Chain A
């Protein structure tokens, strides 16, 4: 039973990290209908930035709390900056191009960013500093759920609540929802669609950066290629939940996290990634609109 709970908890942790990345996919898709292939790379850059900042600060002897905060903020800022720039360079000029063009451009961006980090930094796996301490009060249940799992779950919950608030009640959130529903209409009622799109990329990237920081300190190492698999998995989660739907992304991520956790725990860990990919292929074939997405008839 303990094993089951352990797998359940690690599945939730996994799932909540996927959710942080999946939200970026789903939000961007909701607004401009594009699969942002480079989103996994934004997450990787978030992890890398936090790695660099945290390591520098720890070398210069800063206290742990300061390191965590500064590394988190730096990761969010730079990931957002990358997300914003990627949109401006690779997607914005192609808004009216044939449908294949932005997709190819996105794939190019993903390859470009991955290799940029590889060349600017290194291809080796790097040890990520331990940012989350083992809490003493966690001692009795440490064998089923670690401190970092708790921190990850709490952080993602807070972030989700903040995002929900932002989208429901703020001005930019309302503009985002309007743009997602009907871009032309939003434009006509005076919403600055360019700004909304930029904001979407910035918010999605910041979320991915937080995910990057959390998972890197959870796993303890990073390299330039982590974005690829994480990106596809988060995308799977977003599609599972129904792409374009924010609650769907969270639901899909949790389901994916749990599935993976149980499948690797009870079946075999060799095929960890195969489970996710197979799930992706199966959903797209049998229910492409996802769990919470709505099936739409394209207007002709």
Chain B
């Protein structure tokens, strides 16, 4: 327990009409850690991300965030998504949501929005401060593109990228917001083995640059190699947690995935 706690979720519950998509979920993330969130389709993983980032308003529960830099503590419940991003949590989307009519570079520049400040007058008169800020935005965005391996395509439309490249661009765009906690929703979905291998090294590199990562992924090999800890969900509930080695032999997990015993699942 040498790393500092940065995210603590307790009793998080989300109801959609009659469906309970999240059921009293507890979870914590520490700095510089890669934590995986796994579970069958429909388990509520994406819903969990949506609650964390303020896109859904959770029905119940508590989300506490502690900034590793300042040590400042805040509750995320009820905050608007953009405020949460400002606090240092960024995400990617399971169904890629890039700005397809904008260039690759511009997509990343959008991520810089919350770290810059020029408004109408700045835009019109373009004073020294604005020019400096703009150039910084461009430069930092370029650096991020180099990191995710897309510098060559900087001025292409985002929609012209390959699927794997689009997923990397989503990561780049999220990084541009300077998060200390990065949420990745199935980043390897639809990638070929080479792309997945590149992704693994990218994620490791991001972790080494002091970002904590919460990762939803179906590719078990990737999850097992990358994660420090794993949380397993099914039907909105946490059914197991532990290190990869522990999860590999956990009976409840095997049951949830292989569905050995369907009746007792519904209990």
Contacts and interface: CB of A to CB of B under 8 A. Distances in A.
Whether the complex brings A and B within 8 Å at their CB atoms is answered yes
Interface of A: 294, 297, 300
Contacts of B55: 300
A233 to B, nearest CB: 31
Given A294-B17, A300-B55, 6 more contacts: A297-B16, A297-B56, A300-B46, A300-B50, A300-B56, A300-B93
The 3 lowest CB-CB distance pairs between A and B, nearest first, are: A300-B55, A300-B50, A297-B56
Interface SS, B side: loop
8 contacts: A294-B17, A297-B16, A297-B56, A300-B46, A300-B50, A300-B55, A300-B56, A300-B93
Interface of B: 16-17, 46, 50, 55-56, 93
A297 B56 CA distance: 7
Contacts of B93: 300
Contacts of B17: 294
A294 B56 CA distance: 16
A294 B17 CA distance: 10
Interface SS, A side: loop
Nearest to B53: A300
A300 B16 CA distance: 13
A297 B50 CA distance: 11
Contacts of B16: 297
Contacts of A297: 16, 56
Contacts of A294: 17
A297 B17 CA distance: 10
B16 to A, nearest CB: 6
B14 to A, nearest CB: 9
A19 B56 CA distance: 34
Contacts of A300: 46, 50, 55-56, 93
Nearest to B94: A300
Contacts of B50: 300
Contacts of B56: 297, 300
Nearest to A297: B56
A222 B56 CA distance: 49
A297 B58 CA distance: 11
A300 B50 CA distance: 8
A37 B46 CA distance: 36
B170 to A, nearest CB: 14
A40 B56 CA distance: 36
B42 to A, nearest CB: 12
Nearest to B17: A294
